Amino acid sequence: MILLRYGPVGAEKPGMLDGNGNLRDLSNHVRDITGAVLDDAQLATLRAIDPENLPLVEGTPRLGPWVGSIGKFMCIGLNYSDNAEESGMPIPKHPILFFKANSAIVGPNDDVVMPRGSTQTDWELELGVVIGKAAKYVDAKDALDHVAGYCIVNDVSERHFQNNLTGQWTKGKSCDTYGPTGPWLVTRDEVPDPQNLSMHLDVNGTRMQTGNTGTMIFSVAEIIEHLSHLFTLHPGDVISTGTPPGVAMGMKPAPVYLKKGDLMELHIDGLGTQRQKVDQDA
């Protein structure tokens, strides 16, 4: 099942894709796609709906962030060994955790707007994991039972803010629009193995990142186990699980960062595609 939100910013409606990829309106069944509808029972109720009986949404409306209210926006750093190598960082012994401000969240095709003074804005294609059932002290073998589904996240990063402004990575990760999510939520029954998903990212039509979730240092299940032993994961929480190699920061002999007018295109097999044009605040 594929769930999404569509419409103008701040007025998005819940939707579902039918078997032919057509957008159907879910407003008569749920008020919004939030953590409250992501547990197994609620998803089973939605899954029982025949999409052909839902109103067809005409045209190509804007797609919003797939969830109406993300709880925690958690990110795992350096979770691909080759990305750690290109970044000049050691392989971590435990998942590296940082948080991204929820105010960074935008739709999958909304513009990414670089803040004033940004000269080192970078791309990061990542698998997003969406919690559907609260997780506390969960073992890895049971961890995926707590997942509602998966999505694409672009963990856009301002490297100067991140590395040179003193403090945590959050400074460079949380600029407005630096958290595109979507285009939709694909429920876990549609993703039999989250550790076997191919992915790629292009900038202006040139392939920059190519990877597969099978090369993660810490699997989705291991990440959930680790985090759930630190604090409770709640329905609607999102974990962005790290990026494969090919980010601008790792380029040799010198990085080539994003600039106004660039176009990013991100794809993960089975999860759809994002497209963001880059702009900059005056």
User: What is the reported pLDDT for 220?
Assistant: 98
pLDDT in tens, 176-206: 999 999 999 999 999 999 999 999 999 999 9
277 has pLDDT over 80: yes
* Bridge partner list, 80: 216
Lowest mean pLDDT among 51-65, 93-107, 156-170: 156-170
* Bridge partner list, 275: 265
Of the pLDDT bands very low, low, confident and very high (cuts 50, 70, 90), residue 167 is confident
Task: Tell me how far apart the alpha carbons of residues 210 and 270 are, in angstroms, rounded to a whole number.
Answer: 15
Q: 3-state class of 137 per DSSP?
A: coil
Alpha-helical runs (H) found in 26-177: 40-47, 81-86, 140-143, 159-164, 170-173
pLDDT in tens, 40-50: 999 999 999 99
pLDDT in tens, 247-262: 999 898 999 999 999 9
DSSP 228-259: HTTS-B-TT-EEE----S--GGG-SSS-----
**158 token code pair:** 């301002």
- Chain centroid, CA 203 distance in Å: 18
Task: Tell me how far apart the alpha carbons of residues 75 and 271 are, in angstroms, rounded to a whole number.
Answer: 19
Q: 3-state class of 162 per DSSP?
A: helix
Higher-confidence position of 282 and 158: 158
* Bridge partner list, 266: 201, 274
- Cβ neighbours of residue 120 closer than 8 Å, sequence gap 6 or more: 158, 159, 160, 161, 248, 249, 255, 257
Torsion of CA 33, 110, 117, 162, to 10 degrees: 40
Of the pLDDT bands very low, low, confident and very high (cuts 50, 70, 90), residue 215 is very high
> H or E stretch including 220?
helix 220-228
* Bridge partner list, 16: 3, 24
The dihedral built from the CA positions of residue 280, 6, 240 and 266, taken in this order, carries a sign that is: negative
**64 token code pair:** 């919003």
CB atoms within 10 A of CB 163: 14
Superfamily classification of domain 64-280: Fumarylacetoacetase-like, C-terminal domain (3.90.850.10)
Q: First CA to last CA across the chain, in angstroms?
A: 41
- Chain centroid, CA 207 distance in Å: 19
- Cβ neighbours of residue 94 closer than 8 Å, sequence gap 6 or more: 226
pLDDT in tens, 100-109: 999 999 999 9
Q: Give the start-to-end residue ranges of the domains of the chain.
A: 64-280
Of the candidates 248, 212, 235, the one whose C-alpha atom is nearest the C-alpha of residue 114 is 248
**241 token code pair:** 């699980």
Angle at 115 between CA 110 and CA 120, to 5 degrees: 100
Lowest mean pLDDT among 21-30, 89-98, 130-139, 267-276: 89-98
Q: Please state the pTM of the whole predicted model.
A: 0.96
The single-letter DSSP state of residue 90 is P
Number of H helices, E strands in the chain: 6, 17
